[in-house]
Structure 1
Amino acid sequence: MSGADVKPILISGGGLASLLLAQSLRLAKIPFKIFERDASFAFRAQGYRLRLSTEGLDAIESVLDAPTWQRFWDTCGKTGGVGFSTFNALTGEQAEQIVPEALASRSNKVIGIARGDMRNIFASGCEDHIEWSKHVAGYELTDDGVHAIFADGTKSVEGSMLIGGEGIYSRVARQLSGGKLKVYDTGARGIHGQAPSTAFKGLGEGVFRLRDDSRADGAIFIITNVRPGDMDDPNVNFGWTMGGQPGVIRAPNNDYSIVGKKAADLAKDLTKDWHPRFRPLFEEMDESEAAFWKITCSTPSGVPEWPSDPRVTVIGDAVHSMTPAGGIGANTAVRDSALLGRLLREAGGYKPGVTAAYEKEMRVYASAAVHLSYSTAVGQFGVEIDEKSSPVV
């Protein structure tokens, strides 16, 4: 069969896991198509800067070709220090580090990259394979392939496989697992923000957690990574992410899609009594970049089993959504991409048994990661998930 006759692998969603998988397929010359519901990568805020673990970096390096990996590595920030420096947000005093957290992954540095930069690099060379404004709402198996079904009722070309990588609201995951894959709303909320790097000079280089336990309705904290080199350039923005225990952070009309000034104003109000050392992070913030977010988590007891389908599987947040605690969600997602990509390369594309082999190995490391993320969030965010009664998204 000629290359032109080979059915493409269909990928639902154009997020990090999907694009890294696409890189693996591109390099192996396996045909693929990506269906992304947004109109472009610039359609929505790209979220907070991601910390990359040793496992995450190894997975990414195993997929990218040498020039693209070098571009990726050069784009990453490298911050000194191996763990969080925790401060009392009100007094400015450094708190006792009760549970040290090892954050460094290479060269004794904490490695981080903006989600938008990561997405653009992973998309390199794949742009012509992306179909925009295509919202996958399910799929239909054929005698020897699969169609993605879009929200408007139309269908994709027939593919050899469908990979669901469209995040926590994945319809592919719901259909494939018969509803066993669930994402729970923990009730905790957060705000992403950015400010000029000069606003962070009071902190200095490092990874910081600022915590306020003075509120009657629950604790609130921010996490930020202040990397060297850009600290004196007011044209460079650093990001911070704020988290609050359930009930502390409330979006107007419970609308967590709100971005901009309303989210910024709430962040400023919540931190108005914080120490002057930390106030510039909020007083000088770029209000247009502020955004709310819900803190969700997949089933804490582990990734459930479902009857494996040789034609369909899921990756990333679609199969294992995690809280931000521990910073391991994106790192686990890229492990999915590297594993599934390697199995497909070795098989030369679709082959019965690939999805079963991928899911068996993925369940082990992903279940451990979800459990760690949830267990950490119980302490950090005060969340609790009851798998029988907690609300799902």
Structure 2
Amino acid sequence: MSSPHILIVGAGVGGLALGQNLKKNGISFTLFERDASPSVRAQGYRVRVAGGGAEGLRECLDDEMFNLFENTCAESKPLTDGGRFSAMNADSMESLFPNEFPGLPKGPGGPGQGPPEMVKMSSQKVFNKPYNVDRTMLRNVLLLGQENHVKFAKSFTYYETTSTGVTAFFRDGTSERGTLLVGADGTFSPVRKQLLPNVRYVDTLSRVIYGKMPLTEELIARFQPKALKWMTVIQDQSLTLFMEPVRFPKDASVVTNGRVPRIDDYAYWVLGGNAETFGLSDAEFHNLSGKDAADLTLKLTSHWDPSFKAIFELQNAAQSAPLRLITAKPERPEWTPSANVVLMSDAIHAMMPTGGSGANTALADASLLGRIIAEKGVSEDSIFCRPDVGICLASDKWQCRRRKEVVGFQGFRRYEGGDYLS
């Protein structure tokens, strides 16, 4: 049997982790990313890697790479150091997690991390230590050593399969042939739309604007000091601000010998509410520029305590962006089985961003799929799955193995309302 060549569409956290896993196992692959560069748009900021995500990442990386990952993480503190405030009173601090939230069992990363039986996603030992990670930093680290495998500005359009492989076609008129096509291309995955055209995600009708800003002396002087200790939630009747200082104990540029740029300490924030609160149509909200998003946060929080408004008044508009919260429902799809096309991470099981569940599941996907390819190769025996097996997340055996883990995890986190998206 000839050695497989894997085509990965999407250079997000999941796709890059899979690339590292394949590289570690000596398997040929090419990774295609539609963005022109890793830094062309906002990538989100802090994410907590824990449980099955940390375990999966450890399996994907060799010892040297995992050491680099650990040395580029931000500092972590107990969640009990955080606080909850009323938006109108900066002196109203309460404990952030006095008890478990109703319906949110504690995981290794705290409430919102998923039910304990769903955190472990392979046969390896579960990591009990959560890692506080900057998403841009993580992508930069995961790119190391596989730069020659990644092609940017490659926008996938469609694929064609044969009995021996698959060909991916791109908007620039080029095509690439391989043994297996992996759709790691996010919530609005073009690969999924061709493979599973009837699968629709759900708009939860929740909206957020997120951003970051340096931990400057002015912010530290103006913002409520207790709220800058660690994770903080600030609430009024219709809005919730989640914010967290992100501090790096080590300089990434030094740790990586200049291969990854330094990121200065910053405050990460997310302002969330329902669509009605933001007062914009879907199109208007989606098309908000950074400046427009920043202006909207100032308008929505104009009645807040001055100490809390400082984070919006001092924000860098270029780092602010809107996000519509979308999730998948664990429903059984209809599809034509294929041994040459699979889906992973948000391309097939988009999750709410609470607790970092999407990133952690993507890393677990990357470890399991990479392991199956390394151990069993690409064939009908290792990849193919009949649709009557159950709720498979794509047409492949590896994701049937993931069925009880991910669909159960997703069922726990599923949103029971909202509108289907086409």
TM-score under structure 1 normalisation? 0.85
Q: CA deviation at 1:370?
A: 2.2
Residue of structure 1 aligned with 2:317, choices 264, 287, 304: 287
* CA gap 1:103/1:88 in 2 versus in 1, 3 angstroms: farther
| Alignment-mate amino acid for residue 326 of structure 1 | G
In structure 2, what is the equivalent of residue 327 of structure 1? 356
- Where structure 1 has 5 or more consecutive residues not aligned to the other structure, the ranges are 214-218, 379-383
SS at match of 1:169: coil
In structure 2, what is the equivalent of residue 315 of structure 1? 344
Structure 1 outlier segments of 4+, above 6 Å: 106-109
| Alignment-mate amino acid for residue 56 of structure 1 | G
In structure 2, what is the equivalent of residue 29 of structure 1? 26
Is 1:271 matched up with 2:290?
Answer: no
Query: 1: CA distance between counterparts of 2:74 and 2:381?
Result: 39
Stretch of structure 1 that moved more, 81-90 or 98-107: 98-107
* CA gap 1:246/1:95 in 2 versus in 1, 3 angstroms: farther
Query: 2: CA distance between counterparts of 1:223 and 1:103?
Result: 19
Query: 1: CA distance between counterparts of 2:291 and 2:361?
Result: 33
SS at match of 1:158: strand
In structure 1, what is the equivalent of residue 40 of structure 2? 43
Deviations for 1:213-236, whole angstroms, at most 9, x for unmatched residues? Answer: 1xxxxx211222235567xxx953
Residue of structure 1 aligned with 2:227, choices 203, 207, 222: 203
Query: 1: CA distance between counterparts of 2:31 and 2:248?
Result: 36
Residue of structure 1 aligned with 2:381, choices 353, 376, 381: 353
Is 1:371 matched up with 2:411?
Answer: yes
| Alignment-mate amino acid for residue 42 of structure 1 | S
SS at match of 2:59: helix
Residue of structure 2 aligned with 1:124, choices 144, 162, 173: 144
* CA gap 1:205/1:322 in 2 versus in 1, 3 angstroms: same
Q: CA deviation at 1:134?
A: 1.3
Is 1:339 matched up with 2:358?
Answer: no
* CA gap 1:332/1:139 in 2 versus in 1, 3 angstroms: same
Q: CA deviation at 1:70?
A: 0.9
- Contact 2:35 2:152 (8 Å CA) reproduced: yes
Query: 2: CA distance between counterparts of 1:250 and 1:125?
Result: 46
In structure 2, what is the equivalent of residue 156 of structure 1? 175
Any residues of structure 2 matched to 1:123-272 within 5 Å, and which?
A: 123-152=143-172, 154-177=173-196, 179-198=197-216, 199=219, 201-213=225-237, 219-227=238-246, 236-250=265-279, 254-272=284-302
* CA gap 1:228/1:311 in 2 versus in 1, 3 angstroms: closer
Q: CA deviation at 1:193?
A: 1.2
In structure 2, what is the equivalent of residue 63 of structure 1? 60
- Where structure 2 has 5 or more consecutive residues not aligned to the other structure, the ranges are 110-125, 250-262, 384-395
Query: 1: CA distance between counterparts of 2:57 and 2:405?
Result: 16
- Contact 2:72 2:248 (8 Å CA) reproduced: no
Q: CA deviation at 1:279?
A: 2.3
- Contact 2:165 2:178 (8 Å CA) reproduced: yes
Any residues of structure 2 matched to 1:62-101 within 5 Å, and which?
A: 62-82=59-79, 85-92=83-90, 93-95=92-94, 97=98, 99-100=100-101
Is 1:391 matched up with 2:420?
Answer: yes
* CA gap 1:285/1:44 in 2 versus in 1, 3 angstroms: same
SS at match of 2:195: helix
- Contact 2:74 2:248 (8 Å CA) reproduced: no
- Contact 1:302 1:370 (8 Å CA) reproduced: no
* CA gap 1:109/1:257 in 2 versus in 1, 3 angstroms: farther
Aligned residues: 367
TM-score under structure 2 normalisation? 0.80
Query: 2: CA distance between counterparts of 1:107 and 1:132?
Result: 33
